Amino acid sequence: METFKKLKQFYWPYKSWLLWSLFALLFVTAITVVYPVILQITIDEVIRNGKYGWIPYLSAIFLGLMAIKGVATYFHQYLGDFFGIRSVYSLREALYQKLQRLSFRYYDNAKTGDIMSKLTADVDGFRFFLSFGFSEFIRIVLLISVSLGVMFYYSVPLALVTMAAMPFLAVVVFRFDRKVHPAFRRIRKSYGKLNTRVQENISGMNTVKSLSREDFEVGRFLNRSEDYRTTYINTSNIWAKFFPLMEFIGNVCVVLLLAFGGYLVTTGELQVGELVAFFNLVWYILGPLMNFGFVINLFSQSKASGERLLSILEEEEDVVNDPSVEEKRLEGTVSFRDVTLTYPGEEEKALKNITLDAPAGTTIGMIGATGSGKTSLTQVLTRFYEPESGQVYVDGKPVESYDLQYLRKNIGFVLQESFLFSTTIKENIAYGNPLASEEEIIKAAKRAQAHDFIMDTPDGYDTLLGERGMGLSGGQKQRIAIARAILIDPSILVLDDATSAVDMETEFKIQLALKEVMKGRTTFIIAHRISSLKHADEILVLEDGEVRERGKHDQLLENGGIYRRIYDIQYKDKERIMKTSPR
């Protein structure tokens, strides 16, 4: 029960709904056990003793009890479902909030499909036990207890003989639980992997088709599907082994009942009606006991689901937030002091003792090979990752002293591949500032050189975009991302290869937009093209996580180092192409 104790905070506040559901269940159980008693009275008193005048009264009582049972069953099921649904509503909300707080370290290793499986299938698996499994367990306990009480009232010897095989049934049920829980844990993991396979395939469909790897992807899916199928069949095999054994033990109880009960009737120690009632009551015990395997199945599934949900809820939040409220806008002065960073699971350091000063309003350019540490520098600035040593300051204060939302709202990002949501263009631009007016949104789009092409779309700013911005070109998506950055009015701007994947004409338009955005802001430009950063106040040349050269464009050219070599490669190749191209 450790899993349920850890998740108690989500369902215990709604326990009153469960208690009312169980109160209704008490009526259902009591009325159910009354049926055999009415049958016994009908046989022994009405039929054998000829008291036929009792029939109208017994019929009225029976109909009344059925009506009460129907109403009680309705409230029991409705309130039980309400309890489960309301509980997992809070649980799902907590899971989603937790996922928003977890840092990039968690998402570096997490699989999207597996996370989606936890938030859907596992939440529903846990809910089903809350809504149905727990109350079914209580129903079994109540039905067995009340039925045993009536049986002992009729005949203690017959009740003891009938119950002789029950301990064996209990042992089988216990062993079933020991085997079925690990099996369901494997099913949940296998389902998460299958979900991940589907999600990755759909997300990467352009790559799959462009490389003609459809058959390969089908093969990988079939491998995951085969694993899921095998895991499920193995679990079904457990069911197939244990349930016939449970049924056999139950039938042994029935044989003992008929043999010894028939003997008691012949000796006059038991009436025929009581034996018939006994026969019905024993199934009120055997049926629930065998159904107890189903309850254990639900419990095992929900426990396996709960463990997977706890793997998110108990994940350590390595980025600790200071929830202090900041009202003023940051000036934008940034300093790095001996900052060192190693990504989780990596041995090589991404940053090595980086020291840098960027006064407010200055532009810092960064250039270097892939993996040299350019993007890593901005990720410790925004606390996407925490440095293992060193300190980052903004406006003279350590970044840890700022509220995360406040800090990040003062830092605008324009990335090489800008993510757009499948909603309207207007809502995409206003994503970082949802309270912005329509006039402010249009103004930001004009400054980002995006207004004209937006107005050419079918519904203008109300045009719905496809998934990840489908329907727009790369340059158009970039300019919407720039408009989004303008609208949050950041003090610090990060341009991470913002123009590397577009043509020259589009690059020119984006550069015009970026010049407008950069005015009065501290800007970090990450680029592979020298043309994108040669006007920066200071340029850093990074290699293997270290700053190898720094200075202005002209100074770095005169030094004749790494920067000069990059410049020669880019511009000499350009000159050679111009000379050899046909006029």
User: What confidence tens digit (pLDDT) does each residue in 18-32 have?
Assistant: 899 999 988 888 888
What token pair was written down for 111? 């699989």
Residue 398 lies in a domain: yes
Residues 124, 19, single domain; the answer is yes
Whether residues 336 and 268 fall in one domain:
no
Query: Could you tell me if residue 514 is inside a domain?
Result: no
- Which one has a higher pLDDT value, 379 or 416? 379
Q: Do residues 19 and 87 both lie within one domain?
A: yes
Instruction: List the one residue out of 518, 497, 505, 500 whose CA is nearest residue 448.
Output: 518
What integer is the mean pLDDT of 211-232? 80
Tens digits of residue pLDDT in 456-503: 888 888 888 876 566 677 778 888 888 888 888 888 988 887 665 556
The helix (run of H) or strand (run of E) holding residue 539 is strand 538-543
Strand partners, 524: 364, 494
Pairing of strands 492-496, 334-341: unpaired
DSSP 529: -
Bigger pLDDT: 387 vs 48? 387
Last residue of a domain, one of 249, 280, 313: 313
Same domain? For 75 and 195 the reply is: yes
pLDDT at 579 over 60: no
So what's the pLDDT on residue 578? 44
502 in a structural domain: no
Kindly report, residue by residue over 386-429, the tens digit of the pLDDT: 888 999 999 988 988 888 888 888 888 887 777 788 888 898 88
Taking the alpha carbons at both ends of the chain, their separation in whole angstroms is: 80
Q: Is residue 506 part of a domain?
A: no
**pLDDT-wise least confident of 166-180, 414-428, 436-450:** 166-180
pLDDT tier for residue 211 given thresholds of 50, 70 and 90 = low
Total domains in the fold of the chain: 2
Could you give the C-alpha distances from 486 to 222, 233, 414, 441, 445, in angstroms and in order? Answer: 46, 56, 10, 9, 8
The count of C-alpha atoms lying within 13 angstroms of the C-alpha of 512, restricted to the half-sphere facing its C-beta, is 12
Q: The CATH number of the domain where 538 resides is what?
A: 3.40.50.300
Tens-place pLDDT, residues 236-254: 887 777 777 777 777 777 7
What DSSP character marks residue 421? Answer: -
- C-beta pairs of 241-248 under 8 Å, 24+ apart in sequence: 242/172, 242/175, 242/176, 242/179, 242/293, 243/290, 243/293, 245/172, 246/169, 246/172, 246/173, 246/176, 246/289, 246/290, 246/293, 247/290
- Helix or strand (DSSP H, E) at 500: none
**3-state secondary structure at position 537:** coil
Look up tokens 């900041």; give the residue: 326
In a domain, 375, yes or no: yes
Q: Residue 244 maps to which CATH number?
A: 1.20.1560.10
Please state the rounded mean pLDDT for residues 120-130.
Answer: 83
The CA distance from 273 to 40, in Å, is 4
Of the given ranges (278-287, 290-299, 498-507, 511-520), which has the lowest mean pLDDT?
Answer: 498-507
Is residue 520 one of the residues assigned to a domain? no
Are 239 and 355 contained in the same domain? no
Q: Quick one: 11 and 111 in the same domain?
A: yes
Cα 74 to Cα 30, 34, 171: the distances in Å are 16, 19, 34
pLDDT tier for residue 97 given thresholds of 50, 70 and 90: confident
281 and 387 both lie in a single domain: no
Domain membership of residue 511 (yes or no) is no
**Do 231 and 293 have their domain in common?**
yes
288 lies in the same domain as 157: yes
Which residue reads 């990060």 in tokens? 494
Which pLDDT does position 583 carry in this prediction?
Answer: 45
**Residue 308 sits in the same domain as residue 348:** no
* pLDDT over 50 (residue 580): no
- Residue 353 sits in the same domain as residue 244: no
The b-or-e profile of 397-435 (16+ CB within 10 A means b, else e) is: eebeebebebbbbbbbbbebebebeeebbbbbbbbbbee
Contact assessment for residue 232 and residue 148, using Cβ atoms and an 8 Å cutoff: no
Q: Is residue 477 part of a domain?
A: no
Question: Can you tell me the distance from the alpha carbon of 567 to that of 528, in angstroms, rounded to the nearest whole number?
Answer: 10
Q: Specify the DSSP element, H or E, that contains 57.
A: helix 55-101
The neighbour count for residue 168, using CB atoms within 10 Å, is 15
Do 273 and 386 reside in the same domain of the chain?
no
Beginning with the edge strand found earlier in the chain, give each strand of the sheet holding 492-496 in spatial order.
411-415, 492-496, 522-526, 363-368, 538-543, 546-551
Which among 332, 325, 266 is positioned nearest to 523, based on CA atoms? 332
Domain that holds residue 384: 332-361+369-409+528-583
Of 313, 348, 377, which residue constitutes the final position of a domain? 313
Give the pair of three-digit tokens for residue 472.
Answer: 């727009």
